[in-house]
Amino acid sequence: MVGDMAADTSQKVLFEQDGVFIHSNSNDDCIEQDLLVSGSIRIIDKDGEVLVEYRPLEDSVDPSNMLCAGKDSSSVMEWGQSAEERPHQGLETQHSYETEWDMVNAVSFKKKTFSNGDGALNHSHERNRWAFTFSVSDLHTITVKVDSWSSLFFKLKEASVSLPILYFHQGGITEFLDSLRRCALLSESPEDESCLLVSTANKVLSQSFENLQDDNNYGLVNKLKKDPYVTTLGGFSKVTNYLYDAFRGAEEQRQRPPEEVADLLGEVIPGLEINHQEEPGFEVITRIDLGVRPEVQRGEPLSTEQWAEHQDAEGRILNVPHLKQVIFKGGLCHMLRKDVWKFLLGYFPWDSTLEERKAVTRAKTDEYFRMKLQWKSVSEEQERRNSRLRDNRSLIEKDVNRTDRTNRFYEGIDNPGLVLLHDILMTYCMYDFDLGYVQGMSDLLSPLLFVMENEVEAFWCFVPFMDQMHQNFEEQMQGMKTQLVQLSSLLRLLDLNFWNYLESQDSGFLYFCFRWLLIRFKRELSFPDVLRLWEVMWTGLPCQNLHLLICCAILDSEKQKIMEENYGFNEILKHVNELSMKLDIEEILRKAEAICLQIKGCKDLPHSVSDILGFNTDEDTAEAPRSEVMEPGKRSHSPSPSPTHREQAFSNGHGHLRESSQNGCKVSFVS
């Protein structure tokens, strides 16, 4: 059914594109400006129903909900509130050192006139009549034309309803169709190659893997091999369902040979080598007794009073280990995050004075805007000859438009918060030419900008965070390979029976945890819970690689259901995927800390596990785990386990040894 769509808090924006026009008098060769209807097109998931919506330009969000940049392009303030309604901290227009850099200010805004502020349709009837919404399930065909203006024509199953042709003046047709393919099957019409037939729901799910693979342009396997990041972030479990069906074939109960699983994972994660050779003479080693898991309690967030008590007269932070312990146990009250995160991430040294921090801010502001000026000053002619810059800009623009759009800070069209997100990511490409931009980085930046409300500060907090996460996004994905191997080692140590069960269901490689590790649970938790988890992890307590124990804690809570329900490959993937937004962060942190203490108390702990968690097993040099503060720009990676350490094997009684070697760490296990 076609109609206007009111705002709905339960809806999720899957795709959004501005610069989409209706040519109200398209018969004329010369199209005048006043004959064009400008608007945006969106794909929306509303209560499980996927809708396509077109809104003319004035059909924008309520301006009182908008956030806009201050004059200095780096602070963000409420647009529709009076001064007394506005929170005082960080939201006032800042008259700072950064105003000297207005020449590279990318954010400008004008307050539009609206007859009311409730987000309703206020434009004229002439514009209002062009707005429409329809369900994808009602869509019959899409005709794609590539002429002077690329266009789409939607034909619904109900023949009596006619929709106008949409012209994509700024491009985006390919991205729109790619997004639509996540919800429906688009297949080329035999009679007309420009016409796509649309199938939805059960029809899509019933398609065989072979048919999908035959689609050379959009085969899921090709997508997975070409870009595992995009495929994973877009819905990894859906892809692996097709992969699983492809290997199973007609024999539903046939167990897939482990060699085939290894080959598949080797394609998804290049360089991950698994050796399945049998070693009949290998002696089985019994499992390790970890003892009783202790009970731990969480604490209260660090208060403003406690934070003030930890500063001397010149602003130095005192008793940092105790401060980190309080933050680890309870996190921070939101009012403190803007200040404390800068120390946790290494933007400011803990022992710096207030005056020293002001000097750092001035120097970092200059450095940031010099880098920003580099890409802002590139002409169109230059950019035509710089494919790397074009590719980065295109990918950033695409990702920014779909990052946290349900969050008030980023919602709506022409949101200034999105401009700042875009500018920071583009400037990071100038900071790290080798890496540039990779999908997923916008997910890591978004909470930082939300908390800092300042372009420069968000950037310099993003830099050390990316130093920690850098290997996750490198072309060879070395960070992801290492973490998956390490996580497998920890899970086998904690619960060999559960790991053996996963292994029996072709899930022992734990690749359903890929997204968890890639962007640190950003898509698994609510936005406030992400803030809490990240600040706890940044303390470096109670061990290194706490995020791996977070994974173990989540799986520990779900293992009983998985095993009792006898979940297979598909069911495990589906179940893990559906945990998103249903996790209790405080319970997870409590369990992760308890697991850490349980492992640390083990007397016969394998050296490989000690290395993963940063425990020193030599009594004469043992010390409490400590957190190192990195200076922005200095990259730090978890130390690779030493190849001289003895190898530890775990058995399920079958005696088939398999090994995976990563960075000198040989992990042996029995299947």
CA distances from 82 to 97, 321, 381, 520 (A): 25, 41, 44, 37
What's the sign of the alpha-carbon dihedral 376, 467, 94, 96? negative
Which range, 87-96, 121-130, 210-219, is most confident? 121-130
pLDDT at 227: 56
| Least confidently predicted of 103-112, 171-180, 342-351, 524-533 | 103-112
Mean pLDDT confidence for 505-523: 91
pLDDT at 126: 52
**In which element (H, E) is residue 28 found?**
none
CA distances from 207 to 200, 211, 246, 573 (A): 11, 7, 11, 19
How far, in Å, CA of 242 to CA of 246, rounded? 6
Phi, psi of 605 (to 5 degrees): -70, 130
49 SS3 class: strand
Task: Please indicate whether residue 388 or residue 94 has the higher confidence score (pLDDT).
Answer: 388
Question: For 247, how many CA atoms within 13 A lie in the half-sphere containing its CB?
Answer: 21
How far, in Å, CA of 278 to CA of 282, rounded? 9
H-only helix segments in 401-537: 416-431, 441-452, 455-473, 478-494, 496-504, 514-518, 527-537
Mean pLDDT confidence for 261-272: 48
Mean pLDDT confidence for 557-576: 93
The closest alpha carbon to 135, from 186, 218, 201, 188, belongs to 201
For residue 548, the one-letter residue type is: L
pLDDT at 35: 57
Rounded to a whole number of angstroms, the CA Rg of the chain reads 27
How far, in Å, CA of 423 to CA of 106, rounded? 8
pLDDT at 336: 96
Write out pLDDT tens, residues 37-73. Answer: 888 899 998 877 889 999 887 533 333 333 444 434 4
pLDDT at 125: 52
pLDDT at 39: 87
Write out pLDDT tens, residues 659-669. Answer: 333 333 434 33
Write out pLDDT tens, residues 311-370. Answer: 999 999 999 999 999 999 999 999 999 999 999 999 999 999 999 999 999 999 999 999
pLDDT at 186: 85
pLDDT at 444: 97
How far, in Å, CA of 70 to CA of 72, rounded? 5
pLDDT at 263: 54
Residues contacting 126, CB < 8 A, separation 6+: none
Task: Please indicate whether residue 453 or residue 642 has the higher confidence score (pLDDT).
Answer: 453
Predicted confidence (pLDDT) at residue 574 exceeds the cutoff of 70: yes
Residues contacting 577, CB < 8 A, separation 6+: 235, 236, 237, 512
The percentage of the chain sitting over the pLDDT mark of 90, rounded to a whole number, equals 46
Predicted confidence (pLDDT) at residue 201 exceeds the cutoff of 50: no
Residues contacting 363, CB < 8 A, separation 6+: none
Write 155-160 long-range contacts (CB < 8 A, 24+): 156/2
CB atoms within 10 A of CB 631: 12
pLDDT at 191: 84
pLDDT at 590: 97
Decide: 509 and 265 in contact? Cβ < 8 Å: yes
Angle CA(190)–CA(195)–CA(200) in degrees, nearest 5?
Answer: 90
Decide: 294 and 598 in contact? Cβ < 8 Å: yes
Q: How far is CA 669 from the centre of its chain?
A: 31
Q: In which band, very low, low, confident or very high, does the pLDDT at 34 lie, cut at 50, 70 and 90?
A: very low
pLDDT at 342: 98
Question: For 95, how many CA atoms within 13 A lie in the half-sphere containing its CB?
Answer: 0
Q: Which two tokens stand for residue 511?
A: 């690749």
For residue 381, the one-letter residue type is: E
pLDDT at 618: 44
Q: In which band, very low, low, confident or very high, does the pLDDT at 611 lie, cut at 50, 70 and 90?
A: very high
How far, in Å, CA of 518 to CA of 95, rounded? 38
Predicted confidence (pLDDT) at residue 634 exceeds the cutoff of 70: no
Phi, psi of 619 (to 5 degrees): -60, -35
How far, in Å, CA of 332 to CA of 307, rounded? 10
Which segments of 57-116 are extended strands (E)? 67-69, 76-78
567 SS3 class: coil
Residue with tokens 């859906």: 238
pLDDT at 185: 83
Residues contacting 139, CB < 8 A, separation 6+: 52, 154, 155, 156, 157, 184, 198, 200
Q: Which two tokens stand for residue 415?
A: 């949101």
52 SS3 class: strand
Task: Please indicate whether residue 189 or residue 74 has the higher confidence score (pLDDT).
Answer: 189
117 SS3 class: coil
Write out pLDDT tens, residues 209-262. Answer: 333 333 333 344 445 445 555 555 655 444 444 334 433 443 444 445 555 555
| Helix and strand counts by DSSP (H, E) for the chain | 24, 13
Q: Which two tokens stand for residue 654?
A: 């079958």
pLDDT at 212: 33
